Structure 1
Amino acid sequence: MINPIGSDTLLPLFVYDVDEHHALTKEAESLPSVIITSPAAGNAVMLGGGYFTPLKGFMNVADAMGAAEKMTLTDGSFFPVPVMNLVDDDAIAAIGDAKRIALRDPNVEGNPVLAVMDIENIEKVGEDQMAVMRDKVYRTDDPEHPGVAAFMGQGRNAISGPIKVLNFSYFQTDFPDTFRTAVEIRNEIKEHGWNTVVAFQTRNPMHRAHEELCHMAMKDVNADGVVIHMLLGKLKPGDIPAPVRDAAIRKMAELYFPPNTVMITGYGFDMLYA
């Protein structure tokens, strides 16, 4: 199997050790906390699942600008989009001079702790910097564009530093049969005994052309199977809800693919529309 970019193995930031998880959960209750934005919560879930290997946490402004402008971080490593924790001035006031904080989930009732973060830097992000990232990532400045609206609607303070993730938000509970970490997907591919795999990412139910594309790709590379990987987070108004999409894709796989040739998985992230 091809190695992840920048590492020999995936580097999930979820705390799997039971004792450490318990200790961090207890510690988090006494730490200054911030209810982060939904895009930042999605970033935390992706970091926790190993999808954003080799990142160890949220980017500082220099790395975020590098990702947007050149798809490289300041150390020269590849990353295609900024992964930031942008908060407003009230959040910064609540943090004070703390160097370790709890990040709370905006998408779950009661705002449980999603992760513990060590603060390396807090930086003001200028409007010109926000504009560069917006234009490079979304290729538009239209305020009605869903990705632009979500990005520009965040605060202008970037909190950077490593995180330790304590849960996967609502994705694991709402989509127990579909949500998978990157580590779990790789493990399942090995369990299937697949050597060559086609992957298809989607935020929509698959129509006939999508199905045919997967069949063609599998045939062209003599693949053992296909991973259909769907986004499970927030979408723009009018897009098909995740439960409907999940059911539609499962029925398609049942009807139009041979048994044991399809893995249906999903990831916890808000759609970028980038």
Structure 2
Amino acid sequence: MIDPYSSEVLKPLYVKDEACRKILLEEAKEIPLTVISSAAAANAVMLGGGYFNPLSGYMDLADVIGVAERMQMSSGLFWPTPVVNMLRGNSLSEEIKSAGKIALRDPNVVGNPVIAVQAVDKIEIVTEKQIGEIVKHVYGTTDHEHPGVAAFTEAGDTLISGPIEVLNFSYFSTEFPDTFRTAVEIRNEIKEREWETVIAFQTRNPMHRAQKSFAGWHKMN
């Protein structure tokens, strides 16, 4: 099997050790908390599951602009779209800066439980002009009717970057128990089945019958 992207081993950010998880949950009670955007929560799930290997967390502004304009982070790593935690307004900025960490609450689960704890590297204000340029490069439009543009522009103007430790997979593992897999689980299953050829086909929702047939055709050819 080929190595994970840009590393020899997969680096999922989900905290498996129960004792460490308890410590983080207790710590979350003592540091600033905020309900993040749905997109940021989805990014946390992807980071936790190892899908966004080798990223260690949310990008800073330099990386966001580099990815948007050139699909390249400051390190030179190829990456196609920004992975961000944007907050609306900066009322918590000083509190977050002082604590050095922030507990991220899930907007998609009742009660908004903490989905991850983030160490704060930078707190940066993104101007309206910069936001417009970013979405234009990434989505090819600034039209708010585009769901990607709407999600990015409505998330806020305060960019919180830094590594995260993920505590759960939001609603994915409970609502889709038969189909949700982390990148680690997928790779392990490929090994167990001794598959030598695997077709990667990315969709925004579960693969339907025509897409399955299309992927099968490519495997045969």
Aligned to 1:160: 161
> Offset of 1:212 from its aligned partner?
3.1
Aligned to 1:97: 98
Identity %: 52
Q: Secondary structure at the match of 1:162?
A: strand
The alignment status of 1:189 with 2:190, answered yes or no, reads: yes
Q: Which amino acid aligns with 2:136?
A: D
Check conservation: 1:104, 1:112, Cα contact below 8 A. Answer: yes
Aligned to 1:85: 85
Matches within 5 A, 1:224-239: none
Q: Secondary structure at the match of 2:201?
A: strand
Q: Secondary structure at the match of 1:153?
A: helix
Task: Spell out, residue by residue over 1:185-222, the C-alpha distance to the aligned partner (whole angstroms, 9 max, x if none).
Answer: 001111111111112222265243x23312211112xx
List alignment gaps of at least 5 residues for structure 1.
221-274
CA RMSD of aligned residues (A): 1.5
Check conservation: 1:33, 1:94, Cα contact below 8 A. Answer: no
Larger Rg belongs to:
1
Q: Structure 1 residues 211 and 32, CA, compared in 2 at 3 Å: closer, same or farther?
A: closer
Q: How far apart, in 1, do the equivalents of 2:216 and 2:57 lie? A: 37
> Offset of 1:96 from its aligned partner?
5.8
Q: Secondary structure at the match of 2:202?
A: strand
Q: Which amino acid aligns with 1:76?
A: G
Check conservation: 1:34, 1:95, Cα contact below 8 A. Answer: no
> Offset of 1:167 from its aligned partner?
0.5
Q: How far apart, in 1, do the equivalents of 2:187 and 2:84 lie? A: 26
Aligned to 1:206: 208
Structure 1 consecutive aligned stretches of length 4 or more whose deviation exceeds 3 Å: 90-96
Aligned to 2:40: 40
Aligned to 2:72: 72
Q: Structure 1 residues 204 and 165, CA, compared in 2 at 3 Å: closer, same or farther?
A: closer
Matches within 5 A, 1:89-128: 89=89, 90-92=91-93, 95=96, 97-128=98-129
Tell me the number of residue pairs that the alignment of Structure 1 and Structure 2 aligns: 219
Task: Spell out, residue by residue over 1:222-264, the C-alpha distance to the aligned partner (whole angstroms, 9 max, x if none).
Answer: xxxxxxxxxxxxxxxxxxxxxxxxxxxxxxxxxxxxxxxxxxx
Matches within 5 A, 1:146-157: 146-157=147-158
Q: Secondary structure at the match of 2:133?
A: helix
Q: How far apart, in 2, do the equivalents of 1:130 and 1:115 lie? A: 25
User: Which TM-score applies when normalising by structure 1?
Assistant: 0.76
Q: Secondary structure at the match of 1:185?
A: helix
Q: How far apart, in 2, do the equivalents of 1:109 and 1:182 lie? A: 26
> Offset of 1:84 from its aligned partner?
0.6
Task: Spell out, residue by residue over 1:10-69, the C-alpha distance to the aligned partner (whole angstroms, 9 max, x if none).
Answer: 110000112111111121122211110000000111000011111111000000111111
User: Which TM-score applies when normalising by structure 2?
Assistant: 0.94
Q: How far apart, in 1, do the equivalents of 2:15 and 2:212 lie? A: 37
Q: How far apart, in 2, do the equivalents of 1:204 and 1:37 lie? A: 22
Q: Which has the higher strand share?
A: 1
Q: How far apart, in 2, do the equivalents of 1:109 and 1:147 lie? A: 24
